[in-house]
């Protein structure tokens, strides 16, 4: 079992208009940021309040061809290799959930993470060609319109898989 660095996020909430950063490796710089944005979509005639997660320079997400990141449950392995149609990529700003209002004023929610209840966002940090895998445990409440950040974990051993929730 690899040594793991945990970062308690104290159930920090991200409501629309706010953001929260995570320094998973404890070096004083942010590795991920959870943020919101308002997007007007004139083609589909929708307004979208979006919750996204974005990586900084040394951090990577696994993404599929549709730019989605996997929703991971407890006790799943996050390794350094590409997996299940996902490839590790830098510069990603992945959509977690969005509240959509259409031109008929109908409101509904979309996104892979809209029903998240203690699920895990996988990531890796690359430092000096060394790879460290990690996760952020999150929940999402459509009723309260907020993302909840519980904790983060990062393997302290390079090129080691980490288990979600471990």
How close are the terminal C-alpha atoms of the chain, in Å?
10
> What's residue 2's pLDDT?
55
pLDDT single digits (tens) 53-105: 999 889 999 999 998 999 999 999 999 999 999 999 999 999 999 999 999 99
Burial 48-87 (b: 16+ CB within 10 A, else e): bbbbbbbbbebbbbbbeeeebbbbbeeebebbbeeeeebe
- What is the mean predicted confidence (pLDDT) over 119-140? 97
Residue-by-residue DSSP string for the chain? ---EEEEEEEEEEEETT-EEEE-TT-SSS-SEEEEEEEEEETTTTEEEEEEEEEE-TTEEEEE-TTSPPP-B-TT-EE-SS-BTTBEEEES-EEEEEEEEEETT--EEEESTTTT-SSEEEEEEEEETTEEEEEEEEEEEETTTTEEEEEEEEEESSTT--EETT-
Work out the widest C-alpha separation in the chain, in whole angstroms.
Answer: 53
Work out the number of other CB atoms within 10 angstroms of the CB of residue 39: 12
Of the chain, the percentage scoring pLDDT greater than 70 comes to 99
Dihedral through CA 166, CA 78, CA 76, CA 14, nearest 10?
70
Tens of pLDDT, residue by residue over 14-34, are 999 999 999 999 999 999 999
pLDDT for 57: 86
Task: State pTM to two decimals.
Answer: 0.95
Q: Which residues pair with 51 in a beta bridge?
A: 36, 97
Mean pLDDT, rounded, of the chain: 96
Residue 1 above 70 pLDDT?
Answer: no
């Amino acid at each position: 079992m690899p040594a793991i660095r945990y970062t308690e996020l104290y159930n920090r909430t991200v409501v629309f208009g706010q953001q929260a950063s995570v320094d998973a490796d404890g070096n004083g710089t942010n590795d991920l940021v959870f943020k919101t944005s308002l997007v007007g979509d004139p083609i589909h005639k929708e307004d979208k309040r979006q919750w996204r997660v974005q990586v900084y320079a040394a951090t990577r997400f696994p993404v599929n061809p549709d730019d989605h990141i996997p929703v991971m449950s407890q006790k799943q392995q996050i390794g350094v290799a590409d997996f299940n149609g996902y490839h590790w990529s830098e510069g990603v700003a992945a959509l977690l959930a969005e509240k959509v209002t259409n031109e008929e004023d109908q409101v509904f929610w979309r996104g892979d993470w809209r029903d998240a209840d203690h699920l895990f966002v996988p990531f890796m940090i690359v430092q000096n060609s060394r790879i460290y895998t990690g996760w952020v445990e999150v929940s999402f409440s459509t009723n309260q319109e907020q993302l909840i950040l519980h904790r983060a974990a990062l393997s302290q051993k390079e090129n080691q898989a980490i288990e979600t929730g471990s």
